[in-house]
């Protein structure tokens, strides 16, 4: 969905090859210079992570298909081992690669995503090696300094972390988190961020951490303001309403919490746990409920409804745990409501 976290980023630093024994006539000559490595926190299919931008020059020396590869190193001789196979090279070392394609003047750029889940439990200073390759040819190579936060900090301070802490702050003062609420939160995050299996595990872990920490309102509101762009505040309100409904008891206290959070972050007034909406807002959310892009045709709406209705039909979930059955019931109600909205909206089109 395009959720954009605010995050804190910056330039990692000038290349420090001279600290690793290069220079003084010993530095190898390459046709391409790795000029900069910048970063910001962001989201990807495996959850919160680093969005890296590599800049090299001259662009004319970078042919189509050339790639930037990034390794993390404890020092110049010891590479960091990957915690996920999808982010490991043939030796098992943490590595992420991306094609150099975007050009700006005499510079060529690559943008890469490295999920925090791929990193082992390391923190503090390390080295970041960037190599530019074209097939078997090395076009450029450089090292940068990087300081990593600890695992808990880097996962909590994310859009997913903000949602998990807001949900825990809403629910826990009055009752314990139910299985259906935890499942609903993870399922909703999966849809919002298009998470893969790793991302879903991270979402579950974040929700469990929020449950243990029992955050207060101020902590939750601060995370939402810090980690989520204002354009997505209405989705935060939607998320909390859906999580509260998953337990089958959307209380006045839940609604009061959501209204208070909406006021604190400037999301506007709410009605029944959802933002006061124009008819267009309702239509857009209905498309999303049916897992469709806005503007889908009526026949596509019908097909999506039939597919989802089969997935959440009571007969399909009767053997599952109570929390899953409760979530399926709430989800089926939302699917039915969305289908009715879109049928009326698309009638005659």
List, in sequence order, every residue forming a beta bridge with 114; answer none if it has no partner. Answer: 50
pLDDT reported for residue 74:
83
Nearest to 66 by CA among 127, 10, 108: 108
Burial class (CB in 10 A: 0-12, 13-18, 19+), 20: middle
Q: How far apart are CA 313 and CA 308, in angstroms?
A: 8
Output the DSSP codes for 52-80: EEEEEE-GGG--TT-EEEEEEESSSS-BP
pLDDT reported for residue 18:
39
Q: How far apart are CA 200 and CA 204, in angstroms?
A: 6
Helix axes of 322-346 and 279-289: crossing angle, nearest 10 degrees: 130
pLDDT reported for residue 198:
93
The residues near 139 (Cβ < 8 Å, ≥ 6 apart) are 30, 31, 32, 56, 61, 62, 66, 132, 133
CA distances from 198 to 70, 89, 184, 294 (A): 21, 18, 17, 28
| DSSP helix, strand, coil percent of the chain (3-state; round to 5) | 45, 25, 30
Q: pLDDT tens per residue, the chain (349 residues)?
A: 345 454 444 444 444 443 344 444 445 688 999 999 888 888 889 999 988 899 999 988 888 889 999 998 887 778 889 999 999 888 899 999 989 987 777 889 998 999 999 988 677 788 889 999 998 889 999 999 888 877 767 889 999 999 999 999 998 877 777 777 788 888 888 888 889 999 999 999 999 999 999 999 999 999 999 998 888 888 899 889 888 877 665 677 888 899 899 989 887 655 444 444 445 567 887 888 888 888 889 989 999 888 888 877 776 666 655 555 666 777 787 788 888 888 888 875 5
3-state SS, one letter per residue, for 175-236: CCCCHHHHHHHHHHHHHHHCCCHHHHHHHHHHHHHHHHHCCCHHHHHHHHHHHCCHHHHHHH
Q: How far apart are CA 217 and CA 56, in angstroms?
A: 45
Element (H, E) at 339: helix 322-346
pTM score of the predicted model: 0.69
> Would you give the DSSP letter of residue 93?
B
Cβ 62 vs Cβ 95: under 8 Å? no
Cβ 34 vs Cβ 70: under 8 Å? no
Verify cis geometry, omega within 30 degrees of 0, for the bond prior to 111. no
């Amino acid at each position: 969905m395009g959720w954009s976290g605010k995050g804190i980023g910056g330039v990692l630093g000038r290349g420090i090859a001279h600290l690793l024994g290069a220079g003084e006539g010993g530095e190898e000559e390459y046709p391409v210079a790795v000029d900069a490595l910048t970063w910001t926190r962001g989201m990807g299919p495996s959850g919160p992570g680093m969005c890296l931008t590599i800049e090299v020059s001259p662009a004319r020396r970078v042919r189509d298909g050339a790639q930037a590869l990034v390794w993390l190193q404890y020092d110049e001789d010891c590479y960091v081992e990957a915690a996920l196979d999808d982010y490991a090279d043939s030796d098992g070392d943490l590595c992420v690669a991306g094609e150099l394609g975007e050009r700006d003047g005499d510079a060529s750029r690559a943008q890469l995503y490295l999920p925090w889940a791929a990193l082992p439990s390391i923190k503090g200073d390390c080295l970041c090696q960037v190599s530019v390759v074209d097939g078997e040819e090395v076009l450029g190579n450089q090292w940068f300094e990087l300081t990593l936060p600890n695992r808990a900090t880097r996962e909590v301070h994310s859009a997913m972390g903000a949602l998990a802490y807001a949900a825990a702050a809403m629910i826990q003062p009055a009752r314990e988190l139910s299985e259906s609420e935890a499942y609903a939160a993870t399922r909703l995050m999966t849809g919002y961020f298009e998470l893969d299996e790793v991302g879903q595990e991270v979402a579950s872990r974040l929700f469990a951490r929020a449950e243990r920490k029992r955050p207060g309102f101020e902590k939750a509101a601060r995370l939402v303001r810090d980690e989520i762009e204002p354009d997505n505040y209405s989705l935060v309100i939607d998320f909390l309403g859906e999580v509260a409904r998953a337990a089958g008891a959307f209380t006045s206290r839940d609604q009061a919490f959501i209204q208070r959070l909406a006021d604190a972050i400037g999301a506007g007034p709410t009605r029944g746990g959802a933002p006061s909406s124009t008819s267009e807002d309702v239509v857009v959310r209905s498309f999303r409920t049916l897992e469709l892009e806005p503007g889908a045709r009526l026949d596509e709406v019908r097909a999506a409804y039939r597919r989802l209705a089969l997935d959440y039909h009571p007969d399909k979930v009767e053997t599952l745990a109570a929390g899953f059955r409760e979530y399926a019931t709430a989800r089926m109600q939302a699917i039915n409501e969305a289908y009715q909205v879109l049928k009326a909206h698309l009638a005659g089109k």
